[in-house]
């Protein structure tokens, strides 16, 4: 099996690459532009493996994408390359439009050119997986029992989620118009090892370790469904293997938590594993909420569970324990990021997302 993974040096992408190479022994070509959140250190576990190659390239470069796809001749393309940080999209939306919309279009066209040239059997077996987010559905504000399902209408709130919604529509249109065997997945909030420290969980862990304030938006009441990244990687492998072209599969951990509860839990785990002079919960500070902050996300993963047989292996307590322990054990990975960018530029001492 030959697989191209775009965005494979990022958080979710690197987890997927490690799974495909180390667990499945697939031949994998990782493509990544190595922008600020791409990190080759996240691929150290597959470095030098015969089954893995890396290409430093941008998905917006049509010639490079066409050449890479034709040269590698993949059975599958798994597209994860994206700008993904909501706060950054609010202050600088252009990069999100260029990467998430224009980049996806460019990659789809390169893939279509390759797919059209395949023999009938290979053409039927080929799959393109477009990996997206639950944020395209907007916010579950009123009904506490409501969940995002595959047929939930799109209602994006931020430039980031709008750009991902646009890319989802492109992927589905390329299936309907050209017949390409494309599958779409939409996931809830991921967490786990190798998470670039600008997002809530890694940012909280590193600030807490440094004894710095732990800023939380608003009153911390925003609710997210948390998905352990290695569970997500297994889901993506299953979706591209058994998912029906033209269909969407939602991936969620069934672990809804308020942001403030997530921060409290991280503090409690850290205090037990590495006691400090005072409880780290005393570092929590509430800050002004960000614009357009969605109240609640929650995924209904029934289709994925019933039709494809996937189940999350980690609940939030087991996953957060593994995550905190990983950051304690792997300063070699995150310390160069912190020192290279400087605390403020990286997000340390800034607001959490």
Q: Which two tokens stand for residue 288?
A: 């002004």
- Of the candidates 160, 191, 228, 249, the residue annotated as catalytic is 160
- Of the candidates 27, 134, 168, 231, the residue annotated as catalytic is 134
C-alpha Rg value of the chain to the nearest Å: 20
Q: How far is CA 180 from the centre of its chain?
A: 24
Q: At which residue do the structure tokens 């290279």 appear?
A: 340
Q: At which residue do the structure tokens 């492109």 appear?
A: 170
Q: At a CB cut-off of 8 Å and minimum separation 6, what does 120 contact?
A: none
> Is 134 part of the annotated catalytic residue set?
yes
CA distance 110 to 2: 17
Of 23, 107, 1, nearest to 62 (Cα)?
107
Alpha carbon distances (Å) from 187 to 101, 164, 227 = 18, 12, 8
CA distance 308 to 241: 10
- Of the candidates 87, 135, 230, 314, the residue annotated as catalytic is 135
CA distance 262 to 286: 14
> Is 237 part of the annotated catalytic residue set?
no
Annotated active-site positions, please? 134-135, 160
């Amino acid at each position: 099996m030959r697989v191209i993974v775009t965005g494979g040096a990022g958080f979710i992408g690197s987890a997927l690459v490690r799974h495909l190479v180390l667990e499945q022994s697939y031949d994998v070509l990782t493509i990544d532009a190595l922008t600020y959140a791409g990190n080759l250190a996240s691929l150290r576990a597959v470095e030098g493996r015969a089954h893995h190659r890396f290409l430093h390239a941008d998905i917006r470069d049509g010639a490079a994408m066409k050449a890479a796809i034709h040269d590698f001749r993949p059975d599958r393309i798994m597209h994860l390359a994206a700008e993904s940080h909501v706060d950054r999209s609010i202050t600088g939306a252009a990069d999100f439009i260029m990467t998430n919309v224009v980049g996806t279009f460019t990659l789809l066209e390169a893939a279509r050119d390759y797919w059209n040239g395949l023999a009938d059997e290979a053409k039927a077996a080929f799959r393109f997986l477009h990996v997206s987010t639950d944020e395209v559905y907007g916010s579950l504000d009123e009904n506490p029992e409501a969940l995002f399902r595959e047929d939930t209408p799109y209602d994006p709130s931020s430039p980031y989620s709008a750009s991902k919604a646009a890319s989802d529509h492109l992927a589905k249109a390329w299936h309907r118009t050209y017949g390409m065997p494309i599958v779409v997945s939409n996931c809830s909030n991921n967490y786990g090892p190798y998470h670039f420290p600008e997002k809530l969980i890694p940012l909280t862990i590193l600030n807490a370790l440094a004894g710095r304030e732990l800023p939380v938006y608003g009153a911390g009441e925003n609710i997210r469904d948390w998905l352990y990244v290695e569970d997500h990687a297994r889901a993506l492998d299953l979706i591209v293997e058994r998912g029906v072209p033209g269909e969407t599969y939602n991936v969620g951990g069934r672990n809804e938590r308020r942001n403030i509860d997530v921060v409290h839990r991280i503090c409690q785990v850290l205090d037990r594993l590495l006691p400090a002079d005072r409880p780290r919960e005393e570092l929590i500070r509430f800050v002004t909420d960000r614009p357009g902050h969605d109240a609640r996300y929650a995924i209904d993963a029934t289709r994925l569970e019933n039709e494809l047989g996937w189940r999350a292996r980690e609940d939030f307590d087991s996953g957060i324990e593994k995550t905190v322990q990983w950051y304690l054990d792997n300063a070699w990975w995150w310390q160069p990021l912190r020192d290279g960018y400087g605390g403020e530029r990286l997000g340390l001492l800034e607001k959490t997302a």
